[in-house]
Amino acid sequence: MSDSYYGRPILKAPAWRHDIPAYLFTGGLAAGSALLAAGADLTGRPRTRRAARLAALGALGASTYFLINDLGRPERFHHMLRVAKPTSPMSVGTWLLTAFGGAAGLAATAEIRPRRWNGPAGRLTDAAGRAAGLGAAALAPGLATYTAVLIADTAVPSWHEARADLPFAFAGSALASGAAVGLIGAPPSEGGPARALAVTGVALEVAATHRIETGLGLLSEPYRTGKAARLLHAARALNLAGAAGALLGRRSRVVSALSGAALLAGSLATRFGIYEAGVASTKDPKYVVEPQRGSA
């Protein structure tokens, strides 16, 4: 480790706990599930739609919990809704979570309506559910990627330097985890969109993380060493296995479910790997000093 003034680190490591990478994962899962649900709704795949709408709401609830738990006091989340600051990723994210939550909640409610509502009330509920589901899908890209902007908009060297690629990595991760919901929760006969989403998401995530691991010069090093490297290597293996299983196991419910589980685990490992790399880059002063010397 390089020395700094008086042997002290130049940057303080993020004060966030592991609630934050869990929050990054569940937010992406909610976004990916909403996109899958909208696609399933528009193409007549009711079981996929139901699984994805319910997963979107459940993941959003978990994401909100992790965020509030990390904030320490629940009222802090409420206080962030007092103002809207387009220049603040946290403010934008808070409003995105709130708007997405309302849409995802209404869409999920349409899935659990009483079966006896088959007349005008049922049709009205279904129409409201479709409109809400499409609204959630419209907000999903922002929900999936704003967290990448949030962590890149810090002094953490390996996050800030990866600011151009992190949104693509997070978007791919969100798509892959959303696809996992369809692979696990719906029959293979409805699995076409989930399989396509899995392949697209994995390709995007693997390409973006590869650029992050190799294209940032010295600041790629924290992604290739230590705990972060182990997590990202595991994520890549799980994601590729999940995508392959989604394609090859299209007629098997068991293979599809296992592929979905691999994609979920891979997405989780990606978020934790990126988190650990950022933390590691704050602990060695060379990641602050040497890039500055190089640009001087």
Per-residue three-class SS string for 220-281: HHHHHCHHHHHHHHHHHHHHHHHHHHHHHCCCCHHHHHHHHHHHHHHHHHHHHHHHHHHHHH
pLDDT of residue 44: 93
Angle between helices 192-214 and 226-248 (to 10 degrees): 150
> How many C-beta atoms surround the C-beta of residue 254 within 10 A?
9
pLDDT at 183 over 50: yes
Highest mean pLDDT among 66-70, 283-287, 291-295: 283-287
Q: What is the DSSP secondary structure assignment for residue 57, as one 8-state letter? A: H
pLDDT band of 124, cuts 50, 70, 90: confident
At 71, which amino acid appears?
L
List, in order, residues 6 or more apart from 235 with CB less than 8 Å away.
209, 266, 267, 269, 270, 273
pLDDT at 295 over 80: no
pLDDT band of 98, cuts 50, 70, 90: confident
Least confident range from 61-75, 104-118, 193-207: namely 61-75
More confident residue, 150 or 259: 259
pLDDT at 136 over 90: yes
- Of the candidates 107, 115, 119, 112, the residue with the CA atom closest to the CA atom of residue 41: 107
pLDDT of residue 71: 62
72-93 burial code (b ≥16 CB/10 A, e <16) = eeeeeeeebeeeeeeeebebbb
pLDDT band of 1, cuts 50, 70, 90: very low
pLDDT at 296 over 70: no
pLDDT at 4 over 80: no
Least confident range from 60-64, 95-99, 139-143: namely 95-99
pLDDT band of 292, cuts 50, 70, 90: low
More confident residue, 211 or 294: 211
Predicted TM-score (pTM) of this structure: 0.88
At 189, which amino acid appears?
S
More confident residue, 97 or 74: 97
pLDDT of residue 286: 83
**Could you tell me where the DSSP H helices lie in 3-119?**
19-42, 46-71, 75-80, 89-111
